[in-house]
Chain A
Amino acid sequence: MATLTETKPAVALSNDEVLRYSRHLIMPEVGMEGQLKLKAARVLCVGAGGLGSPLALYLAAAGVGTLGVVDFDVVDFTNLQRQIIHTTADVGRKKLDSAADKLRAINPNVNIVRFDTKLSSANALELFRDFDMVVDGTDNFPTRYLVNDACVLTGIPNVYGSIFRFEGQMSIFATKEGPCYRCLYPEPPPPGLVPSCAEGGVLGILPGLVGVMQATEAIKLILGAGEPLIGRLLLVDALAMRFRELKLRKNPDCPACGTHPTLKKLIDYNEFCGIRGEEKPVETQMPSITVEELKQLRDAGNEPFLLDVREPHEYQICNLGGYLIPLNDLPKRVNELDPSREMIVHCKMGGRSAKAVDFLRQSGFTKVKNLTGGINAWADKVDPKVPKY
């Protein structure tokens, strides 16, 4: 079983600590020995966002002695639906400052080590070396591969969790005997696969569910108790509330942890996104119109036909009265549109509508323009009463 035997137990608990951790101490699976292991443990949380919020709170409460936090981001309003370490009053503050305040408030005995930086190939190994394990609360593929590879190279476990909408994945990677993330997915998705914006979002409690399970696994690794989630991939579908477990094997041909590893140093992948569909690059000579120009046409009573290619649930948040055909439905519903009419296409920020314009032009529509910046630009520059999302 993977334990952190190299961790030197802390000398003793103060009387205050004995009282604080009494519900651990009276339980044989933790006890004084386990609580001292927790106190001696050094855990690095990468990210203080959706996953990082609940897991860091619980690790601090449990008495993990040294808690490192890496984050360079700033709290914004859209974070508050799930990143429960941050409050409304923290909007605009650094996530690191906000998180450190809450963690200290929960448990002043914890040594919070702050890293106000973006994890990169230049700093990851150095950063990881001072910790016994890493808990991966990142939100993008480049950092996930970086965390995995740095864990393999420094020989410390990676407590992994990942979320999408209402589905989560969890495992422990990069233990000596177990598989790593690259055993599961040898390479990240190619940069050509960019997200289709229509399918974003995450159920706010999902990172809570997954993050708390990551914290559970981190505590178990420290204690050397129970059956760690090594060699198993736990999948959760919060909508169905169904958990499934798949077997993971250490891949002998794994580029990172196989018998003949080819990965000797860290790679900085470019920012890219997951499995969302292959998109053609947007034509640079896209005919377009600004929100100010659209406003002028509207005011003059000359507004062309407005096509909205967002999803129906986005239309409910706000709309400009456009005719709604979601981008994915456009090919089969194109006959609803009149190619002889002047047309402006919009979405949230201009990405999907550019694809729609591209498609329409290929389908013989010649008088079609993209609304630059989408409805968000309209909210910013024309009508502040329109909500941004």
Chain B
Amino acid sequence: MKVLIPTPLRQYAGKKDSVEVPGTTVGEALKNLTISHPDLKKHLYNEEGKLRAFVNLYLNDEDIRYMEKENTPVGQSDTLSIVPSIAGGKDDRVI
């Protein structure tokens, strides 16, 4: 399936805006994503291995929190979007 990488995380995914990964559930797809791009791991998961609260995942246009979360089944043609919170402006200054 296709995982869309948001701008702030592209630097941890080889600058790519999308990555094709295998998997039958959201959790599996994400696991495979962090295997092929290990730098992404700490940005998606906290120390306890749980998804970070400021990173949301959408299967197509639906929030996985309202589906079966990481157990949500996925198909080949599905798109998983990683949608982190962004603040804009001030944080974007290069310091």
B62 at the interface (CB under 8 A from A): yes
CB-contacts of B14-73 with A (<8 A): 17, 42-43, 52-56, 58, 61-63, 65-66
Interface string of B62-89 (1 = CB under 8 A from A): 1101100000000000000101111111
User: What count of chain B residues pass the 8 Å CB interface test?
Assistant: 34
Q: How far is the CA of A244 from the CA of B54 in the complex (A)?
A: 19
**Contact among A186, A187, A274, A389 with B91 in the assembled complex (CB-CB below 8 Å):** A274
A165 at the interface (CB under 8 A from B): yes
Per DSSP, chain B at the interface is mixed
**Contact among A47, A50, A185 with B85 in the assembled complex (CB-CB below 8 Å):** A185
Whether B7 and A167, one on each chain, are in contact in the complex, defined by CB atoms closer than 8 angstroms, is yes
Q: How far is the CA of A189 from the CA of B42 in the complex (A)?
A: 13
Whether B86 and A164, one on each chain, are in contact in the complex, defined by CB atoms closer than 8 angstroms, is yes
**Contact among B58, B86, B93 with A162 in the assembled complex (CB-CB below 8 Å):** B86
Specify which of A50, A186, A195, A389 lies most central, judged by the most chain B CB atoms within 10 Å of its CB. A195
Q: How far is the CA of A166 from the CA of B88 in the complex (A)?
A: 10
Whether B17 and A240, one on each chain, are in contact in the complex, defined by CB atoms closer than 8 angstroms, is yes
Whether B93 and A200, one on each chain, are in contact in the complex, defined by CB atoms closer than 8 angstroms, is yes
Which of under 10, 10 to 19, 20 to 34, or 35 or more describes the interface residues of A?
35 or more
**Contact among A50, A235, A277, A348 with B88 in the assembled complex (CB-CB below 8 Å):** A50
Whether B53 and A187, one on each chain, are in contact in the complex, defined by CB atoms closer than 8 angstroms, is yes
A296 at the interface (CB under 8 A from B): no
Decide: A140 near B66, CB < 8 A? Known: A235-B83, A275-B85: no
In the complex, the chain A residue whose C-beta lies closest to that of B90 is A139
A197 at the interface (CB under 8 A from B): yes
Decide: A139 near B95, CB < 8 A? Known: A166-B7, A235-B83, A277-B43: no
Interface string of A216-240 (1 = CB under 8 A from B): 0000000000000000010101001
Whether A139 and B91, one on each chain, are in contact in the complex, defined by CB atoms closer than 8 angstroms, is yes
In the complex, the chain A residue whose C-beta lies closest to that of B62 is A247
Q: How far is the CA of A240 from the CA of B17 in the complex (A)?
A: 10
Whether A184 and B56, one on each chain, are in contact in the complex, defined by CB atoms closer than 8 angstroms, is yes
Q: Find chain A residues with CB under 8 A from B66 CB.
A: 249
Q: Find chain B residues with CB under 8 A from A161 CB.
A: 88
In the complex, the chain A residue whose C-beta lies closest to that of B84 is A275
Q: Find chain B residues with CB under 8 A from A50 CB.
A: 88-89
In the complex, the chain B residue whose C-beta lies closest to that of A136 is B88
Q: How far is the CA of A274 from the CA of B42 in the complex (A)?
A: 14
Whether B54 and A185, one on each chain, are in contact in the complex, defined by CB atoms closer than 8 angstroms, is yes
Decide: A197 near B91, CB < 8 A? Known: A246-B61, A274-B84: no
Q: Find chain A residues with CB under 8 A from B42 CB.
A: 277-278
Q: How far is the CA of A140 from the CA of B90 in the complex (A)?
A: 6
Q: Find chain A residues with CB under 8 A from B11 CB.
A: 198-199, 328
Q: Find chain B residues with CB under 8 A from A202 CB.
A: 88-89, 92
Q: How far is the CA of A77 from the CA of B9 in the complex (A)?
A: 29
Q: Find chain A residues with CB under 8 A from B95 CB.
A: 195, 197, 200, 348-349, 351
28 A-B interface contacts by CB (under 8 A) = A78-B93, A139-B88, A139-B90, A140-B89, A162-B86, A163-B88, A163-B92, A167-B7, A186-B53, A189-B52, A195-B95, A198-B11, A201-B92, A202-B88, A202-B89, A202-B92, A233-B83, A235-B81, A235-B83, A245-B61, A246-B63, A246-B81, A274-B84, A274-B85, A275-B43, A275-B54, A275-B86, A314-B94
Chain B contacts to A: CB under 8 angstroms: 6-9, 11-12, 17, 42-43, 52-56, 58, 61-63, 65-66, 81, 83-95
Closest 6 CB pairs of A and B: A139-B89, A200-B94, A139-B90, A164-B86, A163-B88, A273-B91
